[in-house]
């Protein structure tokens, strides 16, 4: 099932909804199932397996409660992450090559060990909302389509074999990056964390919908031109490996968001680079999750 955060009308209130497999394009308010959560993070932390199964059963809610997805304003599924997003750097082989070619000192990293960094995202950006250009501060704005993994319950010392039991679901993240800030400041944090640099959505697909590990086509386009085109099966460090490794030392709290890295074809990978400019329309797409489209403003 697909879980959404959405708004109707102009009251500015975020609501939770579910789109079930048999009813594409229809959205049921979570409240119509007699369940109440403050927001998506609260749902992830508190929902029981039984309640989750209940949500997957669209017939349990009356059809009269259904909305059309096209009639609501989509918000990012998790509008306010409670912690910085954990990101993987250089987690697809061909992206490693293109990055090192662009700026060897910043991107020539070991592939034996995963590269972890974090991204500040007090507020994420929904499908259809703008990506700020930061003219005067950023001269090399770039996109990175990534599979986002959402952790379902606190985990510590989880083995690779058990890791899939800790995945709540998946989303699409565009890990927007300012390459000049990323390289000038040596650490990537600033260049990845500007306000508006974390488009996420359009929904969270619950883990039961995909085999584990998920092997999903992942792509991005800019103004309709195909830029990235790969499969999440090609991760250098798998989701199970990431969860097992991090949880050896860090308790990964329920609701933790992990951006698993981006494939080749980002703007800095082209000669000359194809960085984003105002008016550009970026779409990140992952099979089975959907499309996340944002315009640079």
Note the residues at the interface with Mg ion (CB under 5 A).
144, 175, 262
Task: Find the residue with minimal CB distance to Mg ion.
Answer: 175
Distance CA 269, CA 145 (A): 14
Distance CA 152, CA 154 (A): 7
The residue (of 175 and 285) whose beta carbon lies closer to Mg ion is: 175
Distance CA 139, CA 196 (A): 16
Q: Tokens at residue 260, please?
A: 């698993």
Minimum CB distance to Mg ion, residue 144 (Å): 4
Minimum CB distance to Mg ion, residue 188 (Å): 9
The residue (of 47 and 145) whose beta carbon lies closer to Mg ion is: 145
Distance CA 264, CA 267 (A): 9
The residue (of 35 and 147) whose beta carbon lies closer to Mg ion is: 147
Secondary-structure breakdown of the chain: helix, strand, coil percentages, each rounded to the nearest 5? 25, 30, 45
Ramachandran assignment for 161, one of left (phi > 0), alpha (psi -120 to 50 degrees), beta (any other): alpha
The residue (of 144 and 280) whose beta carbon lies closer to Mg ion is: 144
Minimum CB distance to Mg ion, residue 187 (Å): 14
Minimum CB distance to Mg ion, residue 174 (Å): 9
Full DSSP string of 25-69: TEEEEGGGGT---SSHHHHHHH--HHHHHHHT-GGGS-GGG-EEG
Distance CA 112, CA 116 (A): 13
Distance CA 30, CA 33 (A): 6
Local structure of 121: helix, strand or coil:
coil
The residue (of 152 and 262) whose beta carbon lies closer to Mg ion is: 262
Radius of gyration over every alpha carbon of the chain, rounded to an integer in angstroms: 19
Minimum CB distance to Mg ion, residue 266 (Å): 9
Minimum CB distance to Mg ion, residue 175 (Å): 3
The residue (of 37 and 116) whose beta carbon lies closer to Mg ion is: 116
Minimum CB distance to Mg ion, residue 3 (Å): 23
The residue (of 30 and 90) whose beta carbon lies closer to Mg ion is: 90
């Amino acid at each position: 099932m697909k879980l959404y955060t959405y708004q109707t009308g102009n009251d500015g209130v975020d609501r939770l909804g579910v789109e079930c497999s048999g009813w594409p394009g229809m959205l049921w308010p979570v409240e119509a199932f007699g369940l109440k959560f403050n927001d998506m993070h609260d749902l992830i932390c508190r929902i029981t397996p039984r309640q989750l199964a209940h949500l997957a059963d669209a017939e349990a809610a009356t059809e009269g409660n259904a909305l059309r997805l096209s009639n609501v304003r989509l918000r990012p599924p998790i509008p306010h992450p409670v912690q910085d997003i954990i990101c993987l750097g250089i987690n697809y082989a061909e992206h490693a090559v293109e990055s090192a070619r662009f700026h060897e000192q910043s991107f020539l990293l070991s592939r034996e060990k995963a590269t972890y960094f974090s991204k500040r995202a007090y507020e994420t950006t929904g499908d259809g909302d703008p990506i700020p250009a930061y003219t005067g501060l950023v001269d090399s704005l770039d996109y990175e389509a990534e599979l986002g993994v959402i952790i379902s319950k606190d985990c510590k010392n989880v083995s690779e074999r058990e890791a899939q039991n800790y995945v709540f679901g998946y989303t699409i993240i565009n890990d927007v990056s300012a390459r000049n800030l990323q390289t000038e400041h040596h650490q990537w944090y600033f260049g990845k964390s500007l306000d508006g640099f974390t488009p996420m959505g359009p929904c969270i697909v619950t883990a039961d919908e995909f085999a584990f590990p998920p092997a999903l086509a992942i792509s991005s386009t800019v103004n309709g031109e195909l830029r990235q085109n790969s499969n999440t099966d090609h991760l250098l460090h798998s989701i199970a490996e990431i969860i097992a490794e991090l949880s050896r030392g860090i308790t990964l709290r329920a609701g933790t968001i992990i951006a698993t890295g981006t494939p080749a074809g980002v703007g800095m990978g082209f000669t000359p680079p194809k960085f984003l400019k105002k008016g550009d329309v970026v779409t990140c797409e992952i099979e089975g999750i959907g499309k996340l489209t944002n315009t640079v403003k």
